[in-house]
A and B are shown apart, each in its own frame.
Chain A
Amino acid sequence: MSGLAIENISMRFDLPGGGSVQALKDVSLHLAEGELLSVLGPSGCGKTTLLNIVAGFLAPTEGRIVLNGHTVKGPAAERGMVFQQGALFEWMNVRENVGFGPSMKGMAAAEKKKIVDHLLDVVGLKDFKEKAVYELSGGMQQRVALARCLANDPDVILMDEPLGALDALTREKMQGLVLKLWKETGKTIILITHSVEEALLLGERLLVMAPRPGRIHREYRLPFAELGVGRDLREVKKHPDFARTREEILGMIWDMEEEIMGQPGAGE
């Protein structure tokens, strides 16, 4: 079976002070190859935990992740990850960062160069190859992170709030870039975000998760990502369904937050 299957994942762990936390409960999902899933939910709903399980950084207490027919046992190059910030290697320049995956595989220099040059071209950084990554702006650093992930040609790309630390304008541009890369490469992508708008714009499918225990609350199939490819995303936002869905999801999350706050002894 091709694609990514999340099968009955549960995650429960003991706390140091006694008691235990049910971070995820019975989460199941199947992503076909080339699907873009965005995941939303109030803080504490286990969305990052789920992503870490798919990436192989955490082992679930129940269930399993199956990618293209084999069970995930740990991190591997087939599942690339883009982090919010600070995951670039500042002791390497832009070119070396992007070429990290191929270097680890022991790829020939010429072939690696071709890949790196191409990807830096795609993300619009071809003039910054030799720059140190700390000399780049936040948006450019995330472009490097995207290119670095793509250089490995993974089957699935996992994004943990990749645009969360960017300013609003840069963020919009980067959203366009993510859509473009998705369409051009045909990768399966899971994107975690805090922004309802971003989830709507980028998610072909959208998962709203609920906390305590972390579970799938509702799933949407959305037309906006397709609409947005190669187009001004502000136009997409004017779509009548866009505003309606946004309000619906915001209300949903709002209610969940209310519920948490309302519980005695809860709160942040």
Chain B
Amino acid sequence: MLIRDLGGEVVTLGAGLLRAAPFIIGYVVLILLFALVWRLVKRVLTPKHDFTSLKTVTFGDESTVVSNTVASVISVVAIFLLWASFTGSALVPSFLHAPGPFMGQGSFTYTMETADGQRDDARVDVIVFGKDGVVPPSEVSPGDGIAKDDAMSLQAYRSKLLTWDENDEVKRADGARIVAIDGKPVNAGGEVATAIGRVAVTDKGTLNIVPAQGMQMEDIWLPAPEAVWHRLVTIWRDGYQNVTLAEHLSYSLFRVIVGFLLGAIVGIPLGYAMGLSDWFRGWFDPIVEFMRPVPPLALIPLVIIWAGIGEQGKIILLFLAALWIMAIAARSGVSGVRISKVHAAYSLGASKVQILWHVIIPNSLPEIFTGARVAMGVCWGTVVAAELVAAEKGIGKMIVAAAKFQSTDIVIMGIILIGVIGFGIDMLMRWAERALVPWKGKG
């Protein structure tokens, strides 16, 4: 039973992947295309003449593979271009847009047949309007014959049923039915592609008009980049749900920083104790080794039960997220000290306290910084998740509230902000690491 269910999931996933395959392949082709173009461009430019350019073995030589800045720039630009193109953004010229939904006026004809075999054609005028405003159906004269012309209007990306027989002389109840659309024969349950999109005949004999949707994303799935930017500006100015964006962000950052600092203040001495004393190592090893693989997110329910959804609970959660990472980093920083350094310090007359202060602590700083970077990353991820579950304020709270109102632009804006801030934190930690522990990896 379980196997069958899981197997079904795999099949569904596979089908989804198969549908996505052309797009993935297209993206890869795009990458290769740009690579080719860049190779040609490079040939035209003055060739580089550094040492690496003289190496003949590059495939497999790790040192020759440095991140290509041009590729990075094109990659980021391409993401924005694709985003703009598939959302019909005003930022890019319309020839770069993916095919959009059918908009404006169009028509098709249907052929109806009465029970006694009489046939007549009628025209249906369709107006597809955008999200900016409802456009009423155009007025049409009914025309002659037993089937009268119809008119309808609907919004792009929607579909609409047409009871075509309402104005006709013979109704469906009398046995009238549609036998062809735009001259192509069709039966109940079938459909025909027309200039405006798909027109299907339902089982009950009415028409279902589905205008072509094109390949662009509807706002509710993915808003255009400028819409997201516009949202950022307005929310920065006016706030969201009576809370300013700065306040949302400050709350999240405050939790991360306080939680991380508490975790470091407790975790680093704990790690030192574990690295310096067999008793402490033995005492805390089971606890640390058990808690380390427990994802902090799994603690959210318990923390909410214990401490509620206020600041306290979140800070406890982040404290726990940072604690084990910092303890393990400090422990391995201490254990990583070369015994010859400690021996040297002892034979230079240093006391235990002096060795701790002048040898063990500085020697462990690079490891601690690495741990701090990881811990900050984990804390940032955890705070957003915790806010998704329960919070009053915070960037995670903002996006989950926006999601409930299907304000996809706010959700995307929030995700981008979370990414940018996470990246910024990491950069800051790296910079601090370079400035404070320049001896990292040089021992």
- State whether B349 touches A91 (Cβ < 8 A): no
How many A-B residue pairs lie within 8 Å, measured between CB atoms?
79
User: Which of chain B's residues have a CB closer than 8 A to the CB of A87?
Assistant: 338, 340-341, 343-344
Question: Using Cβ atoms and an 8 Å threshold, which residues of chain B touch A89?
Answer: 341, 345, 358-359, 362-363
Q: Give residues 92-127 of A contacting B (CB, 8 Å).
A: 100-101, 104-105
Q: Within the assembled complex, what's the spacing in Å between the Cα atoms of A56 and B442?
A: 28
Q: Is residue A55 contacting chain B, with contact meaning CB distance below 8 A?
A: yes
**What residue in chain B is nearest A148 (Cβ atoms)?**
B348
B343 shortest CB reach to chain A, Å = 6
Contact with A along B339-357 (1 / 0, CB 8 A): 0110111111111001000
Query: Which residue of B346, B347, B348, B437 has the most chain A CB atoms within 10 A of its CB atom?
Result: B347
| Of A57, A85, A134, the contact of B343 (CB 8 Å cutoff) | A57
Contact in complex: B341, A86 (CB < 8 Å): yes
Size of B's binding interface in residues, CB under 8 A: 23
Q: Nearest chain-A residue to B363 (Cβ)?
A: A91
Least Cβ distance of A55 to chain B in Å? 6
CA–CA, A85 to B442, complex, Å? 13
Contact B349 A152 (CB under 8 A): yes
Question: In whole Å, how far is A163's beta carbon from the nearest beta carbon of chain B?
Answer: 15
CA A61 to CA B359, docked complex, whole Å = 30
Q: Is B411 an interface residue (CB 8 A)?
A: no
Let me know if B438 is at the binding interface, CB within 8 A. yes
Contacts of B47 in A (CB 8 A): none
Question: In chain A between 53 and 68, which residues have their CB closer than 8 angstroms to a CB of chain B?
Answer: 55-57
* CB-based contact A100/B347 at 8 Å: no
Partner of B362, one of A76, A77, A80, A91: A91
Residues on the A chain within 8 Å of B128, using CB: none
A128 surroundings in chain B (CB, below 8 A): none
In the bound complex, residues from chain A placing their C-beta under 8 Å from that of B350 are 100, 104
B312-342 contact mask (Cβ, 8 Å, vs A): 1 or 0: 0000000000000000000000000010110
A101 with B442: CB separation less than 8 A = no
A residues near B (Cβ < 8 Å) are 55-57, 74-77, 79-81, 83-91, 100-101, 104-105, 132, 134, 145, 148-149, 152, 154, 158
What 17 new A-B contacts, CB under 8 Å, besides A80-B347, A87-B340?
A57-B343, A75-B346, A76-B349, A81-B344, A83-B343, A86-B340, A88-B341, A89-B341, A89-B345, A89-B359, A101-B348, A104-B354, A104-B358, A134-B439, A148-B344, A152-B348, A152-B349
Hey, which bits of chain B sit against chain A, CB under 8 A?
A: 338, 340-341, 343-351, 354, 358-359, 362-363, 365, 437-439, 442-443
